[in-house]
């Protein structure tokens, strides 16, 4: 895919949604960190239901740490893998209090040193909470990048690096959200909604009978 196509793709996505946002509910960097940690292999909807009960009760590292694993588990037990996630979140809160004065760090290295926080989670926090140029490649972004030809790659890290290189600079900060939303609602996994896609004429997806 050439640069002109990519520019037009992101121009249209921007035109349709000038200020894209994550669908996870949060009001502070810490709340976002917890929500993203909980969202691994879970839907944003299920996470939002849980945090809607949790955050009014505990939304700081100290408050959640004070709940303990058992107490936190009660709030998040509707989310998949809640036992291991509760342990990670409690340990994350302890480390934030010990190492970072209760604040969420603003570097990938420090974020990835927290339990349950991988590169994708760190990139979400850096981009969404701190507005840094970072690209969190989830299953939606990986699929859209490969299927459209925007940034094809064999693994998430390759796609991440290509997106950081190929997405036009003026659209890079928000491109993470546009690509996720496009993958979630239009360029879906089993049956992409090509007929209602704003970028269909620019997409390099080769229509296959199995996807129609």
Contact yes or no for 38/117 (Cβ under 8 A): no
Q: For residue 195, with 0-12 CB atoms within 10 Å meaning exposed, 13-18 middle and 19 or more buried, which class applies?
A: exposed
Non-local CB neighbours of 138 within 8 Å, separated by 6+ positions? 120, 180
Which residue of the set 21, 138, 154, 212 is catalytic? 138
The verdict on whether 120 is a catalytic residue reads yes
Q: Catalytic: which of 66, 77, 85, 120?
A: 120
Q: Given its phi and psi angles, is residue 149 left (phi above 0), alpha (psi -120 to 50 degrees) or beta?
A: left
Are 96 and 61 spatial neighbours (Cβ–Cβ below 8 Å)? yes
Which are the contacts of 93, defined by CB distance < 8 A and separation ≥ 6? 61, 62, 64, 65
Residue 16 falls in the annotated catalytic set: no
Helix (H, G, I), strand (E, B) or coil at 115: coil
Residues identified as active-site: 120, 138
């Amino acid at each position: 895919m050439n640069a002109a196509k990519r520019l037009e793709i992101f121009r249209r996505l921007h035109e349709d949604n000038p200020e894209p946002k994550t669908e996870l509910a949060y009001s502070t960097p810490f709340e976002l960190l917890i929500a993203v940690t909980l969202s691994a292999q879970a839907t944003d909807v299920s996470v939002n239901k849980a945090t809607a009960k949790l955050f009014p009760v505990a939304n700081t590292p100290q408050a959640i740490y004070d709940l303990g694993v058992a107490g936190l588990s009660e709030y998040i037990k509707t989310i998949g893998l809640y036992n291991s996630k509760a342990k990670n979140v409690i340990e994350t809160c302890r480390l934030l209090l010990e190492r970072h004065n209760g604040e969420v760090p603003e570097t990938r290295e420090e974020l990835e040193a927290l339990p349950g926080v991988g590169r994708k989670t760190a990139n979400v926090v850096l981009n969404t909470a701190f507005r840094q140029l970072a690209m969190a490649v989830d299953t939606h972004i990986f699929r859209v990048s490969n299927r459209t030809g925007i940034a094809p790659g064999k693994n998430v890290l390759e796609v991440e690096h290509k997106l950081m290189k190929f997405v036009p600079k003026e659209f890079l900060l928000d491109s993470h959200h546009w690509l996720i939303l496009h993958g979630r609602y239009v360029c879906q996994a089993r049956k992409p909604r090509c007929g209602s896609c704003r970028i269909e004429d620019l997409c390099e997806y080769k229509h296959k009978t199995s996807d129609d």
